[in-house]
């Protein structure tokens, strides 16, 4: 499982992560939240390594690749040099496509699908690696609320440990077992969503006064 201890990351003069210690437990679903520039992406990158698959924020829109070939890239580490994908590789890609409800996209091209479809395929690529931990960088950033709900439902169905960054509040806290709140490169609060996402904590992290209300809407 990914873990960092007393990690500091600098970009020139900028301290992006400031002495952060953080460990992910198997089966956890962690939201890393905080304002822009608070170090979320840097933390995610610091956690990346063996056993993790990173789902990037943006997949290029002009990839001249078939969707199935794109997901097969997740098998690169498993493919022996100069060999065609094995039956196990093909099966892994089939499972990954099915997991994100994208079996019907297999024959399409990456440069002729929607942003939401590209994102599902990026998740499928990560699943095809068979890594037990998914690190997702702002996966909900460009989605409307309905697509966001669908994404969270999809992630909930996957049998993976998940670490996901977001700068957007509110979000579907029911999905997460832990929330880590970052501000200026430091973890300023972490724990259960209902404890961490208090008006006080959010006001302190964002530097603006906020008052949170819980709004629940029935599903249509
Ligand atoms: P977040 O994901 O919360 O928006 P980041 O981890 O991307 O935050 O960035 C943390 C800080 O590090 C910010 O101040 C950002 O401007 C800076 N930073 C990130 N990447 C670079 C880079 N490649 N070069 C210089 N500064 C960077």
Closest ligand 1 atom, residue 9 Cα: 12
Mutation choice for ligand 1 from 7, 10, 14, 38, CB with most ligand atoms inside 8 A? 14
Answer whether residue 80 shows pLDDT above 80.
no
Co-location of 89 and 44 in the same domain: no
Q: Which residue has the higher pLDDT, 14 or 144?
A: 14
- Token pair belonging to 156: 């909930």
Q: What is the pLDDT averaged over residues 60-74? A: 93
Co-location of 40 and 136 in the same domain: yes
Last residue of a domain, one of 74, 99, 130: 130
Co-location of 137 and 40 in the same domain: yes
Q: Are 155 and 100 in contact (CB under 8 A)?
A: no
Q: How confident is the model at residue 220 (pLDDT cuts 50, 70, 90)?
A: very low
Count of structural domains within the chain: 2
Mutation choice for ligand 1 from 9, 10, 11, 135, CB with most ligand atoms inside 8 A? 11
Residue 46 CB–ligand 1 contact under 6 Å = no
Which pLDDT value is given to residue 25?
96
Residue 9 CB–ligand 1 contact under 6 Å = no
Q: Is residue 56 part of a domain?
A: no
Which pLDDT value is given to residue 201?
92
CATH number, domain of 141, equals 3.40.50.300
Closest ligand 1 atom, residue 45 Cα: 6
Nearest residue (by CA) to ligand 1, atom 12, is: 16
Last residue of a domain, one of 89, 108, 130: 130
Q: What is the pLDDT averaged over residues 97-102? A: 93
Which pLDDT value is given to residue 76?
84
**pLDDT tens digits along 165-213:** 988 776 667 889 999 999 999 999 999 998 998 889 999 998 887 776 6
Q: What is the pLDDT averaged over residues 12-29? A: 96
The distance from CA 112 to its chain's CA centroid, rounded to whole angstroms, is 23
Co-location of 26 and 103 in the same domain: no
Q: Is residue 109 part of a domain?
A: yes
Q: Is residue 24 part of a domain?
A: yes
Mean of pLDDT over the chain:
89
Q: How confident is the model at residue 57 (pLDDT cuts 50, 70, 90)?
A: confident
Which domain covers residue 16, as residue numbers? 1-51+132-220
Residue 184 CB–ligand 1 contact under 6 Å = no
Co-location of 220 and 138 in the same domain: yes
**pLDDT tens digits along 30-46:** 999 999 999 999 999 99
How many angstroms separate the alpha carbon of residue 42 from the centre of ligand 1? 7
Question: What percent of the chain has pLDDT above 70?
Answer: 92
Q: What is the pLDDT averaged over residues 54-82? A: 87
Q: Name the residue among 37, 8, 34, 32 with its Cα closest to residue 21.
A: 8
Q: Are 166 and 33 in contact (CB under 8 A)?
A: yes
Co-location of 125 and 136 in the same domain: no
Exposure class string for 15-26: b at 16+ Cβ within 10 A, else e: bbbbebebebee
Co-location of 121 and 151 in the same domain: no
Last residue of a domain, one of 98, 130, 162: 130
Q: Is residue 177 part of a domain?
A: yes
Global pTM reads 0.89
Q: What number of helices (H) and strands (E) belong to the chain?
A: 7, 8
Q: Are 163 and 24 in contact (CB under 8 A)?
A: yes
Residues 6+ apart with CB under 8 A from 22: 3, 4, 7, 43, 47, 180, 187
Q: Is residue 147 part of a domain?
A: yes
């Amino acid at each position: 499982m990914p873990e960092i201890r007393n990690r500091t990351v600098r970009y020139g003069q900028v301290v992006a992560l400031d002495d952060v210690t953080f460990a992910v437990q198997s089966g956890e679903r962690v939201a890393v939240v905080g304002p822009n520039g608070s170090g979320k992406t840097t933390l995610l990158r610091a956690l990346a390594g063996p056993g993790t698959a990173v789902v990037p924020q943006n997949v290029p829109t002009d990839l001249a690749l078939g969707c199935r070939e794109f997901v097969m890239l997740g098998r690169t580490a498993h493919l022996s040099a100069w060999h065609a994908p094995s039956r196990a590789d093909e099966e892994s890609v089939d499972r990954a496509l099915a997991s994100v409800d994208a079996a019907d996209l297999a024959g399409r091209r990456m440069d002729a699908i929607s942003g939401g479809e590209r994102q599902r395929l990026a998740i499928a690529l990560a699943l095809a690696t068979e890594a037990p931990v998914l690190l997702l960088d702002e996966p909900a950033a460009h989605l409307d609320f309905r697509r966001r709900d669908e994404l969270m439902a999809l992630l909930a169905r996957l049998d993976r440990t998940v670490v996901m960054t977001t700068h957007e509040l509110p979000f579907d806290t029911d999905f997460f077992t832990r929330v880590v709140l970052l501000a200026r490169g430091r973890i300023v609060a972490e724990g259960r969503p209902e404890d961490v996402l208090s008006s006080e904590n959010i006001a302190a992290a964002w530097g603006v006064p906020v008052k949170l209300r819980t709004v629940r809407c029935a599903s249509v």
